[in-house]
Amino acid sequence: MTTLSPLLQIEDLHVAVEGKEILRGVSLALYPGEVHALMGPNGSGKSTLAYAIMGHPKYQVTQGRILLKGEDITSATADERARKGLFLAFQYPVAVPGVTLFNLLRTAGRALRGQDLPVVQFRRRIREQANLLKMDESFLQRYVNEGFSGGEKKRAEILQLTVLQPTVAVLDETDSGLDIDALRVVAEGINAFASPANAILLITHYQRILRYVRPRFVHILAEGRIVRSGGPELAEELEARGYEQVLQQVRSQA
Amino acid sequence: MTTARPQIDLGPYKYGFRDPELYVYKAKPGLSRRVVEEISDMKGEPQWMRDFRLRALEVFFQKPMPTWGADLSAINFDEIHYYVKPTERQGHSWDEVPDYIKKTFDRLGIPEAERKFLAGVGAQYESEVVYHSLREDLKKKGVIFVDTDTAVREYPDLVRRFFGTVIPPADNKFAALNSAVWSGGSFIYVPPGVRVEIPLQAYFRINAEAMGQFERTLIIADEGSFVHYVEGCTAPVYSKDSLHSAVVELISMRGARLRYTTIQNWSLNVYNLVTKRAVAYEEAVVEWIDANLGSKVTMKYPSVFLMGKGARGDILSVAFANTGQHQDAGGKAIHVAPYTSSTILSKSISKGGGRTSYRGLLKIYEGAKGAKSMVRCDALILDPYSRSDTYPYIEVAEEDVSIGHEAVVAKISEEQLFYLMSRGLTETEAMAMVVNGFIEPFTKTLPMEYAVEMNRLIELQLSGAVG
């Protein structure tokens, strides 16, 4: 275990949506260079955690804290969090008609880096990353998520990740709805992004993406709490036995 | 006239500065036969134009104020200065323009735009065009681009043949008013087959308080020609209202294509009541691209009469209404000939209690077989205090036609804002991005330099203290 301080630290997080408590005390620490997988059945609160970390106004933190690079961001707005180095790849990214993907990348790049963003290099990086994700350059001129297939949306999210280079990335079910070829391409993108300087929280329902992106830790979220944590073998156990059995075992031990 | 009154704070409007009034002539407020004769005298016009004015004045006095649209009851015709002459002569280089006026146009970026990407420029200040230029190669090809007063003197046959034929004075009260007191505006003639590939621009500036600006524009694209004309307009902020009432007539001859772009950004004390109409003959195209950001009240419905077989008219109307504004805008397509086609696309945004109305007419005459039309109104309402209405009128007297109508009212979704904010954009930047995306069908028709300016204007509108 590293002696560095965590990039993302979540302490006893309780989150309510429209008055209903969804997360009931989640704690996590992501250190530099780490990939954590967060797994859990439908309705366990995975997406709620993702939104709460990014600061969606509908997701109210009722208790606990979120720290980014040691700084308390619990009450920061989403754009402040982004400028401090946080990124969320959405499970269902919305369409923004009339705004090209290229324009979004450029505007976001400027918002995150300020005016001194080197334009020529930045353009080149967008093109390079698009090529790595096997996206045609014409794709950059399409309107953000408008008429995109499920796979195209996920690729566009990962393109934003690799171009914007955040310090902490939360990927919310980036693997869902992808066929095997697209899954491999997206996983390669995530691996290309991962470095000793950043950390990734990979939220997923299925184990299959973990064949390509190896996590250091796997956590199981159920009913708003992390009920078990372990190494990559935990994902394999889940795959072999299913959520129901693993969760039953957890309950009987409790 | 006093201008000592402190400038009222209207937030982000950045064109509200004003110049001292160093005018050659300024008519006393109010309208009479005497004022009209004075204007005509000062211009040294031929008798036919003088008669035209006086007849129009009678029509203006007879016609009641229109009450079917925006609220015009606060207009006081007795307070308005109908004619203000800023200089004795027109400049053909910016050095010939009086310093204080040149400075204003510098601040508005006109000479710079001219150097960079325009083929010709006209600059109107109050009632008169103070600067005019056209590239030599276009002159040699026979293109005419002058102010309309000059055209009356130098091209009397062309002017007499077309002036007032598309919009007769009796068309409506404000067309009659313009016909009586018109001054300035652009006259363009493009000879057959000539393509003016880069835009011609006119800029209209009101400076005085309680000023009436009544420019008159006439554009003739002869057979198979192409021209793109762009107009912009601004004014200082005063507590007394000004009136801008233009008449714009377009004639697109067989096979010609005429595109007319307006970026209207008057200050919030200007009533903008403009009549714009085009005729398109066989296989001709007319495109109205009409953006209304400023003014207190705008009533403007660019129209196309599709007179020849296969003619096409496209109208794109964009309106942004902020606090205290009512943008009553839209378009009209009148299909007279067979196989004509039209599209009307209206994009409106209301914010801070502002009000937008789409008002449009689609009319298809019997015999206009195979006519096609699509009308679409998209409204974006940014807060619960603002308002948007649509008044689409459709009259179809022919069976063999294909028409479509769609209207969508939308709000900016929290999910869109959150998505963009998660990418580092502030809430205002995120909102501006959604709004700019919404009007992208308009922005993409603009030369790049205008598109950039347009996006900046939208951002200003959204970031201000207003609303």
B-chain residues near A55 (CB < 8 A): 422
Distance from CA of B438 to the nearest CA of A (A): 6
pLDDT at B405: 94
Mean pLDDT of chain A: 94
Distance from CA of B431 to the nearest CA of A (A): 11
> Nearest-CA residue of chain B relative to A113?
B424
Q: How many CB atoms lie within 10 A of CB B48?
A: 13
Identity of the residue in A97, A103, A112 whose CB atom sits nearest the CB atom of B424: A112
Identity of the residue in B422, B429, B434 whose CB atom sits nearest the CB atom of A96: B434
Question: Does residue B286 have a pLDDT over 70?
Answer: yes
Contact A79 B416 (CB under 8 A): no
Q: Assess if residue A183 is contained within a domain.
A: yes
Of the ranges A121-130, A164-173, A217-226, B442-451, which one carries the lowest mean pLDDT score? B442-451
A-chain residues near B418 (CB < 8 A): 54, 56-57, 78
Amino acid at position B448, single letter:
M
**CB proximity A82 to B under 8 Å:** yes
pLDDT at B467: 34
Q: Pseudo-torsion of CA B149, B153, B157, B163, nearest 10°? A: 20
Question: Does residue A232 have a pLDDT over 90?
Answer: yes
Structure tokens at B247: 């008449």
Contact B422 A87 (CB under 8 A): yes
Question: Does residue B239 have a pLDDT over 80?
Answer: yes
A-chain residues near B437 (CB < 8 A): 96-99, 143
Which residue range is the domain that position A248 belongs to? Answer: 8-98+165-253
> Nearest-CA residue of chain A relative to B433?
A99
**CB proximity A17 to B under 8 Å:** no
Contact A111 B415 (CB under 8 A): no
Q: How many A×B Cβ pairs under 8 Å?
A: 77
Distance from CA of B340 to the nearest CA of A (A): 29
Number of domains in chain A: 1
The pairing of beta strand A59-68 with beta strand A8-17: antiparallel
> What is the tens place of the pLDDT at every residue in B123-178?
999 999 999 999 999 999 999 999 999 999 999 999 999 999 999 999 999 999 99
Give the angle B36-B38-B43 at the CA atoms, nearest 5°: 100
pLDDT at B5: 39
CA quadruple B391, B413, A77, A4: dihedral sign: negative
**CB proximity A97 to B under 8 Å:** yes
B-chain residues near A88 (CB < 8 A): 422
Of the ranges A117-121, A139-143, B370-374, which one carries the lowest mean pLDDT score? A117-121
Distance from CA of B265 to the nearest CA of A (A): 23
**CB proximity A83 to B under 8 Å:** yes
Contact B424 A79 (CB under 8 A): yes
Contact A98 B438 (CB under 8 A): yes
Q: What is the mean pLDDT of residues B294-312?
A: 97
In chain B, the percentage of residues whose pLDDT exceeds 70 is 97
Q: What is the pTM of this model?
A: 0.86
Contact A111 B418 (CB under 8 A): no
Concatenated DSSP letters of A2-42: --SPPSEEEEEEEEEETTEEEEEEEEEEE-TT-EEEEE--T
Question: Does residue B9 have a pLDDT over 50?
Answer: no
Residues of B with CB under 8 A from a CB of A: 413-416, 418-427, 429-430, 433-434, 436-441
> Nearest-CA residue of chain A relative to B438?
A98
3-state secondary structure of B263: strand
Distance from CA of A71 to the nearest CA of B (A): 17
Which CATH number is A192's domain given?
Answer: 3.40.50.300
Question: Does residue B55 have a pLDDT over 90?
Answer: yes
> Nearest-CA residue of chain B relative to A77?
B421
pLDDT at B255: 98
Q: How many CB atoms lie within 10 A of CB A88?
A: 30
Mean pLDDT of chain B: 93
Q: How many CB atoms lie within 10 A of CB B314?
A: 20
The pairing of beta strand B186-190 with beta strand B226-234: unpaired
Amino acid at position B178, single letter:
N
Amino acid at position B5, single letter:
R
Distance from CA of A40 to the nearest CA of B (A): 24
Q: Assess if residue A206 is contained within a domain.
A: yes
Structure tokens at B75: 């207009």
3-state secondary structure of B421: helix
Question: Does residue B466 have a pLDDT over 50?
Answer: no
Of B277, B275, B283, which is closest to residue B251 (Cα–Cα)?
B277
Domain extents in chain B: 25-300, 413-467
Contact A78 B422 (CB under 8 A): yes
Identity of the residue in B414, B423, B437 whose CB atom sits nearest the CB atom of A108: B423
Contact A160 B423 (CB under 8 A): yes
Residue with more model confidence, B387 or B2: B387
Distance from CA of A80 to the nearest CA of B (A): 7
B-chain residues near A107 (CB < 8 A): 423, 425, 429, 433
Long-range contacts of B148-152 (CB under 8 A, 24+ apart): B148/B182, B148/B184, B148/B185, B148/B186, B148/B187, B148/B215, B148/B216, B148/B217, B148/B218, B149/B43, B149/B183, B149/B184, B150/B90, B150/B187, B151/B187, B151/B218, B152/B43, B152/B45, B152/B46, B152/B49
> Nearest-CA residue of chain B relative to A98?
B437
Where does the pLDDT of residue A212 fall: very low under 50, low under 70, confident under 90, or very high at 90 and above? very high
Q: Assess if residue A134 is contained within a domain.
A: no
Measure Cα distances from B393 to A5, A60, A224, B331, B390 in Å: 67, 48, 56, 10, 10
Q: What is the mean pLDDT of residues B322-326?
A: 95
Q: Assess if residue A126 is contained within a domain.
A: no
Contact B421 A79 (CB under 8 A): yes
Identity of the residue in A55, A57, A104 whose CB atom sits nearest the CB atom of B423: A104
pLDDT at A201: 98
> What is the tens place of the pLDDT at every residue in A141-172?
999 999 999 999 999 999 999 999 999 999 99
Distance from CA of A81 to the nearest CA of B (A): 8
In chain B, the percentage of residues whose pLDDT exceeds 90 is 83
Question: Does residue B356 have a pLDDT over 90?
Answer: yes
pLDDT at B283: 98
pLDDT at A3: 60
ipTM of the complex: 0.96
3-state secondary structure of A48: helix
> Nearest-CA residue of chain B relative to A163?
B423
Identity of the residue in B415, B423, B440 whose CB atom sits nearest the CB atom of A82: B423
Amino acid at position B83, single letter:
Y
> What is the tens place of the pLDDT at every residue in B192-210?
999 999 999 999 999 999 9
Where does the pLDDT of residue B464 fall: very low under 50, low under 70, confident under 90, or very high at 90 and above? low
Identity of the residue in B424, B433, B434 whose CB atom sits nearest the CB atom of A83: B424
Residue with more model confidence, B15 or B8: B15
Contact A79 B425 (CB under 8 A): yes
B-chain residues near A160 (CB < 8 A): 423
d(CA A51, CA B421): 12
Of the ranges A88-97, A186-195, B108-117, which one carries the lowest mean pLDDT score? B108-117
